Amino acid sequence: MTMLDRFAATFLDLDVAARYAPEMLAGLLVTLAIGLAVIVTGVGVGLALAVLRAFGFRALDFVLIQIVDILRALPPLVIILIIYFGLPNVGIVIPSFVVLWMSLSAVLAAFSEELFWAGITAIPTGQWLAARASGLGFFQTLRYVILPQAVRIALPPLTSRTISITKNTALGSAIGVNEILGQAISAEAFSANATPLAMAAALYVLLFLPLVIASRSLEHRYRAGRRGWTR
């Protein structure tokens, strides 16, 4: 057998692919559902926390910054394992997909709070003053003047951060969530063939490549006109 034949037999076995297609599809749905849930809660909570910081309560800000920094410093797998193995021993039993969703949402909330806040602080004070002087209230100023601009600024880095955290749904395989990678690992064990892994890889590319390309074009658009060094 040539190297190429061996590669095809190992990673591109069509029989195996057909046999495990339903499982892989189920895994895709789980990854999609958890990924979307993580994005909605993570970005939503992050935005809410950034708005909370706009009020400028010193003590609250201090606590918030510490929690955010801790969540940015801890490896997500460590958070997941502590919640997954620890809580049942103190009598709290939650399904593993909920553990995955909560952990990743917390991490994404921490990162996105930071990015939204950076966006809010990037808006010149004159915007606040002008809006308030024209008779808008604090909330109206925030809602109609500041946030639309801040979100635009935060969007490119937020997109790439969201992608890299949502990809971590694959960590669910370590705690028995039946997402794409988890399904692929068990299918690989049953079939003694690596085709399911190749299918998993293809599914991830299908899911995330459009997002990666979109984030690249977002970054490009916001950086337009600032072209630098060329060879």
Provide the binding-site residues for another protein, judged by CB under 8 A.
6-7, 10-11, 69-70, 72-79, 81-82, 85-86, 89-91, 118, 121-122, 163-164, 167-171, 173-174, 180-181, 184-185, 188, 192-194, 197-198, 200-201, 204-205, 207-209, 211-213, 216, 226-231
Give dist(CA 5, CA 56) in Å, integer. Answer: 64
**Closer by beta carbon to another protein, 43 or else 161:** 161
Give the C-alpha separation, 31 to 167, whole Å: 9
Give CA–CA dist 86/169, Å, rounded. Answer: 20
At its nearest, how many Å lie between another protein and the CB of residue 160? 8
Nearer to another protein, 128 or 222 (CB): 222
**Cα–Cα distance, 146 to 122 (Å, whole number):** 10
Minimal distance, residue 163 CB to another protein, in Å: 8
In the complex, the smallest distance separating the C-beta of residue 144 from another protein, rounded to whole angstroms, is 24
- Name which of 60 and 214 has its Cβ closer to another protein: 214
Cβ atoms 81, 116 nearer than 8 A: no
Helices (H), 55-193: 58-73, 76-89, 96-122, 125-133, 138-140, 147-166, 180-191
CB 171 → another protein: shortest distance, Å?
6
Among candidate residues 98, 109, 104, the one with its CA nearest the CA of residue 75: 104
Which CB atom, from 29 or from 205, has the smaller least distance to another protein?
A: 205
In the chain, the largest separation of any two C-alpha atoms, in whole Å, equals 79
Q: Residue 231, SS3?
A: coil
Handedness of CA 137, 140, 146, 147 (dihedral sign): positive
Residue closer to another protein (CB basis): 87 or 138 = 87
Closer by beta carbon to another protein, 139 or else 229: 229
58 versus 227: smaller Cβ distance to another protein: 227
Say if CB 32 and CB 207 are below 8 A apart.
Answer: yes
* Least Cβ distance, residue 30 to another protein (angstroms): 14
Q: Smallest distance, Å, CB 32 to another protein? A: 14
CA 94 – CA 108 distance, rounded (Å) = 20
Q: Smallest gap, in angstroms, from Cβ of residue 77 to another protein?
A: 5
